[in-house]
Amino acid sequence: MFVIFGAAGNVGRVSAAALRRAGREVRAVVRNNKQGELLAEIGCEIAIADLLDPVSVERAIEGAHAVQILCPVPHSDADPATAMRRMIDVSAGALRANPPQRLLALSDYGAEHASGTGITTLFHYLETQLAPVASQMTFLRSAEHMHNWGRVLPIALARGVLPSLHHPLSKLYPTVAAQDVGLLAAELLLDDRPAKVSPRVVSIEGEARVSALDVAHTVGELAHRQITAYEVPRGEWPAMLHGAGLGENHARLVTDLYDAHNAGRIDVETEISERRFGSTALADVFAVILARAGAASTATSTATTAAR
């Protein structure tokens, strides 16, 4: 049995589908039955679990040959760092009590740093807690996900301006499509060869590094309009993040992360990492996001017209 936590997410659902195509039994771990509907349609067993509840996590991993674990940043929590560490502690405790033969944890570029990297320090904590759990332990560290730009694409389309915390705008940085991460995760879980080292560290990023200028150009080409990248001044970051609905603690994690990014601290750890590269281009990811945004806008407009 292959157990996939976060199976309804951008990475997890791709991993679950790839494992099912390979003929493996998959237990998809989700937060509620609604999230499990599409996964059940492809033959996954559905498990409902709360990463803060040890009993539900223990139940989810029962009988597992391999586990893919994800501890997401809890955006709605007033103190997301503390909440995520609790999730990690619960997951690590359950896995230590009942270790699978193979364990893969979704981690982040920069996870080797114990401090000074904002959100990424939480992935450092994840790795330190899980490293001793399984004899075949893999940390899959991914670059910044391309779909993260989806949060500001509506602003870019409405105003013709793409706000960026990446400074300077011309700086190239690594990024990757979530689907490529999901496919690689499934490939690594299916790899039956004995691990040469444990934990094994594998990194993934896209074939080409991009800049905020590249992102704005790509959005503009897809939207058939001029989009200009805007370097948000450092002093305006907290207000912008608060305006986007982030609490003070969460906003601080983000500002610390981008300070580390802009200082060049968030990158692949080349000395120990097996490097892999995804094949999905930025334009492919953005085309899907924009198509969904257009469909949602059309649906809202149709519903509003019908209600009149």
pLDDT tens-digit readout, 100-138: 999 999 999 999 999 999 999 999 999 999 999 988 999
Chain mean pLDDT for the chain:
93
The band of 302, judged by pLDDT with boundaries at 50, 70 and 90, is very low
Instruction: Report helix angle 248-262 to 80-97, nearest 10.
Output: 80
Q: What is the pLDDT of residue 299?
A: 37
Q: pTM of the full predicted structure?
A: 0.93
> Residue 78: how many CB atoms within 10 A of its CB?
11
Domains defined along the chain, listed by start: 2-145+175-205+265-279 (3.40.50.720)
Is pLDDT above 90 for 262? yes
Pull the structure tokens for residue 163: 């706000």
Whether the CB-CB separation of 218 and 281 falls below 8 Å is answered with: no
The band of 298, judged by pLDDT with boundaries at 50, 70 and 90, is very low
The CA distance from 144 to 6, in Å, is 18
The percent of residues above 90 in pLDDT, for the chain, comes to 87
Pull the structure tokens for residue 265: 């601290």
The CA distance from 300 to 286, in Å, is 21
The band of 307, judged by pLDDT with boundaries at 50, 70 and 90, is very low
Q: Is 221 left (phi over 0), alpha (psi -120 to 50) or beta?
A: alpha
Is pLDDT above 80 for 85? yes
At residue 176, φ and ψ (nearest 5 deg) are -155, 150
